[in-house]
């Protein structure tokens, strides 16, 4: 895929369960004039099973993708970006293009302040949901790589409690999801050691220069210390009017998310879980995650006698089933998934 100046474009991925610092990394990438790190709009995985082998796309195919993006935006509004739907009105169909190039073409229609599309050389797709499908993503292009963000499970779960967005704040539910996501990602790295780089959230916030330099070197993107300078964040525009389909409660959630997305890096939150989570919550997190977390230096807080695990508890089962559901949805035809998504949106708007 090239831009209109015929310059080649590479696409990489930011993976990792949500609330692990992926948005912080997106903000850093978008300070680089040659990099476009796009918002969470999981059309790649949404259409993967249906479109991965296609080389000719009809107007109906493209309309389905745009329909998905517009529907998903109602559920997860783009913050700081706008999408140019009108671009696709000028395309002649059928469109002869690989799915890999089509993904880049769609990403380029996400407009970010102070970015010139003609200067984009690298696209970075950030979607926590992609974390379960890393192998499939790398099948699309042999030049793609993945940055995996990982964060202390207790800090991750605390962040889930404080900023619930659309997901439950239940400790056990989120602990099992943290574990399964990161187990999958570590297995992904073991199969692709030269294409996957793990980055600890704690390293990003305490040693930004060294860590960001390591990331950009891994992706072969020129590095500059200017990337660490906080840009003036874009103010939210007519929030209530633009997202009037949302309820007052959801508007409040969105405002919290906007504040979160535009926040600078804080080191003070690294150990906040030690006082903000209850002793019982920390213990439950440790029981589920500490053995795996030890691989990354995340030690259990206190010794504990291993109890009869809550593998039959409602939260534990819900967490496991949520991952199974994501894997099943990945394989379904897009028409079924799009209908399901519209039903979800209609219930909350």
**pTM of the full structure:** 0.87
> What mean pLDDT is reported for the chain?
88
Digit-coded pLDDT (tens) for 150-188: 999 999 999 998 876 667 889 999 999 999 999 999 999
Distance CA 15, CA 34 (A): 21
Maximum CA pair distance of the chain?
A: 66
Tell which wins on pLDDT, 36 or 7.
36
Tell which wins on pLDDT, 228 or 118.
118
Residues 6 or more apart whose Cβ sits within 8 Å of residue 291: none
Domain extents in the chain: 10-348
Tell which wins on pLDDT, 229 or 76.
76
pLDDT for the residue numbered 165: 61
pLDDT for the residue numbered 65: 97
Distance CA 5, CA 216 (A): 23
Strand partners, 200: 150
Residues 6 or more apart whose Cβ sits within 8 Å of residue 1: 8, 9, 11, 100, 101, 104, 105
Tell me the CA distances in angstroms from 337 to 39, 63, 68, 212, 344, one per residue in order.
20, 15, 9, 37, 11
Distance CA 40, CA 338 (A): 16
Q: Identify the CATH number of the domain defined by range 10-348.
A: 3.40.50.300
* Residue whose entry in the numeric block shows the structure tokens 């949520």: 322
């Amino acid at each position: 895929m090239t831009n209109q100046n015929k310059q080649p474009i590479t696409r990489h991925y930011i993976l990792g369960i949500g609330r692990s610092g992926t948005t912080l990394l997106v903000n850093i990438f978008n300070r680089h004039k040659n990099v476009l790190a796009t918002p969470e709009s999981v059309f790649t995985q949404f259409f993967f099973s249906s479109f991965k082998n296609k080389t000719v796309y009809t107007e109906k195919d493209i309309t389905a993708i745009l329909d998905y993006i517009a529907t998903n935006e109602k559920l997860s509004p783009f913050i700081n970006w706008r999408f140019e739907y009108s671009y696709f009105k000028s395309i002649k169909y059928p469109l002869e293009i690989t799915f890999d190039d089509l993904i880049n073409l769609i990403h380029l229609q996400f407009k970010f302040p102070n970015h010139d599309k003609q200067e984009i050389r690298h696209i970075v797709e950030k979607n926590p949901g992609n974390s379960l499908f890393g192998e499939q993503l790398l099948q699309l292009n042999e030049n793609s790589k993945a940055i995996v963000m990982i964060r202390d499970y207790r800090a991750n779960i605390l962040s889930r409690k404080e900023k619930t967005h659309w997901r439950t704040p239940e400790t056990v539910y989120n602990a099992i999801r943290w574990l399964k996501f990161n187990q999958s990602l570590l297995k992904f790295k073991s199969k692709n050691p030269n294409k996957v780089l793990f980055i600890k959230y704690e390293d990003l916030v305490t040693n930004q220069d060294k860590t960001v330099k390591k990331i950009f070197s891994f992706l072969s993107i020129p590095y500059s210390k200017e990337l660490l300078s906080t840009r003036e964040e874009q103010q939210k525009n007519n929030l209530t009017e633009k997202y009037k389909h949302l309820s007052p409660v959801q508007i409040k959630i969105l405002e919290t998310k906007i504040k979160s997305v535009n926040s600078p890096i804080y080191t003070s939150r690294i150990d906040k879980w030690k006082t903000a989570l209850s002793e019982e919550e920390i213990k439950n997190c440790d029981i589920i995650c500490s053995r795996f977390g030890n691989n990354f230096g995340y030690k259990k807080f206190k010794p504990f006698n291993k109890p009869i695990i809550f593998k039959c508890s409602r939260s534990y089962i819900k967490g496991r089933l949520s991952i199974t559901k994501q894997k099943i949805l990945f394989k379904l035809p897009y028409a079924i998934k799009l209908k399901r998504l519209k039903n979800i949106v209609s219930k909350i708007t």
